[in-house]
Amino acid sequence: MITEPTSKYLSNTVQSIQPSGIRRFFDLASSMENVISLGVGEPDFVTPWNVIEASYHSLEQGYTAYTANAGLFELRKEISRYMKRRFGVTYSAEDEMVVTVGASQAIDIALRAVVNPGEEVIVVEPSFVSYAPTVTLAGGVPVPVNTYSEDDFKLQPEQIEAAITDKTKVIMLCSPNNPTGTVLSKSDLERIAEVVEKHDLLVISDEIYAELTYDEPYTSFPAIRNMRDRTILISGFSKAFAMTGWRLGFACGPKAILQAMLKIHQYTMMCAPTMAQHAALEALVNGQRDVVKMKESYRQRRSLVIHALEEMGLSCHVPGGAFYVFPSIEKTGLSSEEFAEQLLMKEQVAVVPGSVFGESGEGHVRCSYATSVQKLEEAMRRIERFLQTL
Amino acid sequence: MDSTERELLQLIEKNGRLETATIAKLMGITEDETKQILEKLENEKVILGYSAIIDWTKGTEDGAVTAMIDVKVTPKRGVGFDKVAERIYRFPEVKAVYLMSGVYDLSVSIEGKTMAEVGRFVSEKLSTIDSVISTTTHFILKKYKHDGLVFSDNDEDKRIVVSP
């Protein structure tokens, strides 16, 4: 708890939010030498050069001013084409889209645009750490719905039903999922859509990892029948194009909702950074080849890590997307936090305890395989050695 | 060539020292399968050899000089450029020979200990070959990138250690 005198000025809402459990591991791991980190939630590639170069060029040309609130029109038109081409969903560049500062800001303004005080938002856990706090900051009440390893962490429609009250307004979906890597298939999504329609809910579908699926063709939630006008689709450039530091995302959805989001965006953000928008335009026009190359490399490393975990006897479902594996460490008898801390102390390998992603993440750890093959192999050797000491 | 073979080649093209066991795991096939594919590709001379890319400017006093020579030749009747190219590439000093489109015919890459040594090769060996009409020699002053690899040290991981 904060005890400094100035803490009396803090709002009740912000005080009700706990700092992310990841923070502690960050501090711990940062203070140590020789750490191999599997705790990084971003690509290990540097942004493709043509994208960086396009941004340089835009700066040289003097594009240093604000853009339209919703983002460069050229970029929105390209996003519109891209979403149609890659995912078969159609959005108008004029009024159904906003370019944001990362997918995170898109999630924030989406929630603020639709949630009234006290309304409930279903957060499917294990989940990305920011969903629940962002709901709280928007005045809503996050309601966790757990998923389990025996279902490969797939959301079961019955569990949504059980969590629905007369205050439920939104379900937040994330497929491929961070931290589990689980991808919901078309039929999984159709079953969820039935519940959504039956209870007249809205879906915020975080599809930031959509390009990174390895087994089946990807289905975007708004592509499911009758779901387009019930969905705010969130995506961005961070994961597919290795552009995390550029902070560029976007949201698409029905006009009335997107215009409301744009209202918040124009008052609180003005617009996303101009040089990043020019970079993103290049990424969409000429970047697909790099996406394919990076994806191929993740797919190979997924295979390497799954194989290694199997060999050391840690059970792990094969995640269909993103760049995470989420093995069970239950048989060690340690909590996920103890496991992660001891592994870091004894073998200098950083993983993220599953518990930071919600209650149902307990018993698991998140390992990112977005790191070099050499480091992955060394990390796997160290984890195996660590398991033998238990 | 099937897609498995292509995937394997792309992996070892980037890193020729990848162990068979690692390749197998990355590709999701067995070690035996990996060995078989490698052997097949070696026998078919798809894989011609394995080499290291070395920055010789580091840690050695005896640096090497490399020259790229544009060579104009008269093609030999019946055998075209191939025979001339062969006469050139058989010299061990010659690192590479390419037939080129454009204003000259063969691009020849030569490595020697000193500029004088390379010069001697050009004047005594290369330009004296019957079919060679002219040579233009360019010495490499600095290597920035070679075979897809950048000659600099700036490749450390710039990401923060743990992030959501």
B35 falls in which pLDDT band (50, 70, 90)?
very high
What pLDDT does A364 receive? 98
* Contact list, B160 vs chain A (CB under 8 Å): 26, 30, 40
* Contact list, B26 vs chain A (CB under 8 Å): 300-301, 303-304, 373
What pLDDT does B10 receive? 95
Q: Is the pLDDT of residue B53 over 70?
A: yes
Q: Please judge whether A40 and B18 are an interchain contact, meaning their C-beta atoms are less than 8 angstroms apart.
A: no
pLDDT tens readout for residues A4-25: 889 999 999 999 998 888 888 8
Q: Is the pLDDT of residue B78 over 90?
A: no
Residue A351 Cα, gap to closest chain B Cα (Å):
8
What pLDDT does A312 receive? 94
What pLDDT does B60 receive? 66
* Contact list, A301 vs chain B (CB under 8 Å): 26
B42 falls in which pLDDT band (50, 70, 90)?
very high
Residue B38 Cα, gap to closest chain A Cα (Å):
18
pLDDT tens readout for residues A74-89: 999 999 999 999 999 9
**Average pLDDT of the residues in A221-229:** 98
CA-CA distances (angstroms) from residue A107 to A67, A174, A253, A258, B134? Answer: 21, 11, 12, 12, 67
Pick from A316, A8, A11, A283: which is nearest to A149 by CA?
A316
Q: Is the pLDDT of residue A1 over 60?
A: no
**Average pLDDT of the residues in B138-162:** 88
Q: Is the pLDDT of residue A2 over 90?
A: no
What's the DSSP call for residue B39?
Answer: H
Q: Please judge whether B162 and A20 are an interchain contact, meaning their C-beta atoms are less than 8 angstroms apart.
A: no
On average, the pLDDT of chain A sits at: 96
pLDDT tens readout for residues A161-170: 999 999 999 9
Residue A199 Cα, gap to closest chain B Cα (Å):
32
What pLDDT does B76 receive? 75
Q: Is the pLDDT of residue A183 over 60?
A: yes
Q: Is the pLDDT of residue B61 over 70?
A: no
pLDDT tens readout for residues A286-305: 999 999 999 999 999 999 99
What pLDDT does B151 receive? 84
Q: Please judge whether A41 and B164 are an interchain contact, meaning their C-beta atoms are less than 8 angstroms apart.
A: yes
B64 falls in which pLDDT band (50, 70, 90)?
confident
Residues of B with CB under 8 A from a CB of A: 7, 11, 15, 18, 22, 25-28, 157, 159-164
Residues of A with CB under 8 A from a CB of B: 20, 22, 25-26, 29-30, 35, 37, 39-42, 44, 128-130, 178, 296, 300-301, 303-304, 307-308, 350, 352, 371, 373, 377
Q: Is A164 left (phi over 0), alpha (psi -120 to 50) or beta?
A: beta
Q: Is the pLDDT of residue B63 over 80?
A: no
By Cβ distance, the residue of A300, A352, A371 closest to B162 is A352
Q: Is the pLDDT of residue A209 over 70?
A: yes
Q: Is the pLDDT of residue A242 over 60?
A: yes
Is the Cβ–Cβ distance between A224 and A28 less than 8 Å?
no
What pLDDT does A248 receive? 98
* Contact list, B22 vs chain A (CB under 8 Å): 304, 373, 377
By Cβ distance, the residue of B7, B28, B162 closest to A25 is B162
B153 falls in which pLDDT band (50, 70, 90)?
confident
**Average pLDDT of the residues in A181-210:** 98
**pTM attached to this predicted model:** 0.93
What pLDDT does B148 receive? 86
| Size (chain A), residues | 390
| Size (chain B), residues | 164
Q: Please judge whether A40 and B162 are an interchain contact, meaning their C-beta atoms are less than 8 angstroms apart.
A: yes
